[in-house]
Amino acid sequence: MSVTPEQRFRRWTRCSLLLAVLTFGYFVVADILMPLTPHSRLLHRVIPVAPEVSGRVVEVSVKNHQYVHAGDVLFVLDDSDYRTALHDAELSLQQTQDQNRELDASLAEARASLAQAEAAWRVASNDAHRYRSLGGVAVSRQEVDKAVGSEREYAAQIAQARARIHSLEIQRGLSGEANLHVRQARSAIHLAQINLDRTRVRALESGYVSNLNLEPGDYASTSSPLLSLVSPRAQIYADFREKSLRHAGAGSNARVVFDALPGEVFNAQLVSAEAGIADGQILADGKLAATEAGDRWVRDAQRQRVYLELEETLPVNLPSGARATVQILPLHHPLLRPLAWLQIHTVALLHYVY
């Protein structure tokens, strides 16, 4: 029985429609249970390196793209001014210690004066008491007044000596290293030493030197980055549609394919997700709210950023920003895992041609 062209056309039409429905259903299910996104990149932590003090660069100890360890010297600034500041701070400490010794001597002298005034007051007080007891019989009224005046004069000297001792004790403060002025001088020395050490700019973390355009003679300003350190530790971020993350969370297994390494699939694990996106932040800038504009009935799906860590070492050191494709594996659907494997490996092979 021959098949007419019209029957053949209807058959192909039905097959095409069935294939389209199956394909559509597959993508809907796959996007929910084993989502895949090409919007992903490899990130290395980039640390801008800026001096904490200003000065002229006298030595550059590294080269561009060189690997350095934490603590290695990157470049050196002219330290003459900072050595002078340290020397001045040490002289200030010596001066403070000399002043404290001078105050100690003044205190000893003031206490001796107080003891002398107290001894003289006791003699004058006894004389005045005896003259008063005689009642003006054996001594004249003038001698009595003179004895009382001497007693009051020495009492005033005692009060003056005590006031001077109190003033000197306030100026002197505590003894030894607990003294306020000594602590201030020590702090100035410590700060001067820190600034001197900061003229040798060191790597805070291990990494690769990048964007180094520094030469001896250049002037380095505080907090102005002069190079970057790219950490060898890598992390991946991926932007998925919000609905694709319904069944995914921290600890979900994933597979990663890099554009630079076609045909290779790497294991990864989802570790965290961003708490929000830029469009979800309202700034208090005094302006009225801006509504979202659009003429489409079905708008573009919102994406959420998640972060993943590789479970294995990359065979080559890919640069920060390298493109990748990420697929999250289904958690509770073991029958879908072969499809997920086929899907990500197909993408890996397609990287050979695009």
pLDDT single digits (tens) 271-322: 988 888 877 777 777 788 777 776 777 777 788 899 999 988 888 788 888 9
Please write the tens of the pLDDT for every residue from 95-113.
988 888 888 888 888 888 8
For residue 145, the model assigns a pLDDT of 66
Give residue 251's pLDDT: 85
Contacts of residue 251, defined as CB under 8 A and 6 or more positions apart, other chains included, come to: 269, 270
Could you report the per-residue pLDDT of 244-264, keeping only the tens digit for each? 888 888 888 899 999 999 989
Distance, in Å, from the CA atom of 346 to the CA atom of 1, rounded to the nearest integer, reads 41
Domain check: are 245 and 329 in the same one? Answer: yes
Residue range(s) defining the domain that contains residue 177 = 81-195
pTM: 0.69
pLDDT band at 88 (very low <50, low <70, confident <90, very high): very high
Contact assessment for residue 240 and residue 306, using Cβ atoms and an 8 Å cutoff: yes
pLDDT at 144 (0 to 100): 67
- Statement to judge: residues 255 and 184 lie in one domain: no
Residues 175 and 265 in one domain: no
Query: What average pLDDT does this structure show over 55-84?
Result: 94
Q: Is residue 39 part of a domain?
A: yes
Across 53-67, 131-145, 181-195, least confident range: 131-145
Shared domain for 119 and 176, answered yes or no, is yes
Tell whether 213 and 164 lie within a shared domain: no
Mean pLDDT of the chain: 85
For residue 234, the model assigns a pLDDT of 85
pLDDT of residue 297: 73
* Sequence-distant (≥ 6) Cβ neighbours of residue 118 within 8 angstroms: 154, 158
Band the pLDDT of 79: cuts 50, 70, 90: very high
Residue 22 belongs to some domain of the structure: no
Determine the pLDDT at residue 265: 92
Whole-number pLDDT of residue 83: 95
In this structure, the answer to whether residues 186 and 274 fall within a common structural domain is no
**Is 339 a domain residue?**
yes
More confident residue, 147 or 213: 213
Residue 15 in any domain: the answer is no
Mean of pLDDT values over 52-60:
94
Could you report the per-residue pLDDT of 232-243, keeping only the tens digit for each?
A: 888 899 999 888
Domain count, the chain: 3
Query: Which candidate, 42, 60, 41, places its Cα nearest to that of 51?
Result: 60
pLDDT at 3 over 80: no
Both 242 and 319 in one domain: the answer is yes
Shared-domain flag, residues 271 and 307: yes
∠ CA 103-109-110 to the nearest 5 degrees? 85
| Chain center to CA of 44 | 18
